[in-house]
A and B are shown apart, each in its own frame.
Chain A
Amino acid sequence: DAGITQSPRHKVTETGTPVTLRCHQTENHRYMYWYRQDPGHGLRLIHYSYGVKDTDKGEVSDGYSVSRSKTEDFLLTLESATSSQTSVYFCAISESQGSRAFFGQGTRLTVV
């Protein structure tokens, strides 16, 4: 299994509070991604990174920001959590263009 660790694994937070999810990899892969999984939608890309300090938006980026200050860490921040951001969040890594992505175990976030 690829070395990907997501933390926390579960979190309950209140509407309007900021939340940060962390993804840590030990594979030294260049690309990192944040996806969310919701019923009826599959997995949708939130943000991705193609190198340290190089990030870009995905399909559902509104209300989210990311940072990547080190190769191994990719942080996802919900600036002011809303109930629509209740979801399961997956981090993924990929070594190069056209290579398979490996996924973390997921973080279940509930916004109340």
Chain B
Amino acid sequence: DQQVKQNSPSLSVQEGRISILNCDYTNSMFDYFLWYKKYPAEGPTFLISISSIKDKNEDGRFTVFLNKSAKHLSLHIVPSQPGDSAVYFCAASAAGTASKLTFGTGTRLQVTL
């Protein structure tokens, strides 16, 4: 049972345009959501997070939106740059669970010139 789902395995976006990556979850106990970026042969690196008490969090070009009623979150990257090409993982954790993360299967973003 996949509790965190990223239904788009890949996404291609032109440089300068907006990239929107989506994530759905089923476990209503999740209250903290994170996005990680991963380059080949490297470990995942933290990008941005959001608590369930918020519906939006921004950090520079990256914005995460959370829709709790729909159990959906999205990552917006504006403007997209070639260096953003990577695999993006959505992850979630629940309070009182030692910050254990449940990951989605990832979306490969390709930013083209």
Which residues of A come within 8 Å of B, CB atoms?
Answer: 4, 31, 33, 35, 40-45, 48, 50, 56, 58-59, 90, 92, 94, 96-106
Contact = CB atoms under 8 A, between A and B. Distances in A.
Contact of B43 (A48, A58, A94, A106): A106
Nearest to A93: B99
A90 B41 CA distance: 11
19 contacts: A4-B43, A31-B98, A31-B99, A42-B4, A42-B6, A42-B104, A42-B106, A43-B91, A43-B103, A45-B101, A45-B102, A48-B98, A96-B99, A97-B98, A98-B51, A98-B95, A105-B42, A106-B42, A106-B43
Chain A binding surface SS class: strand
B98 A90 contact: no
A98 B102 CA distance: 13
Contact of B32 (A4, A41, A90, A98): A98
B105 A97 contact: no
A31 B102 CA distance: 15
Interface residues of B, number: 27
A103 B101 contact: no
Contacts of A94: 99
B43 A90 contact: yes
Contacts of A101: 34, 46, 99, 101
A33 B93 CA distance: 13
A106 B41 CA distance: 8
A70 to B, nearest CB: 19
Contacts of A104: 43
A40 B105 contact: yes
B60 interface: no
Given A40-B105, A41-B105, A42-B105, A103 B99 contact: no
A33 B44 contact: no
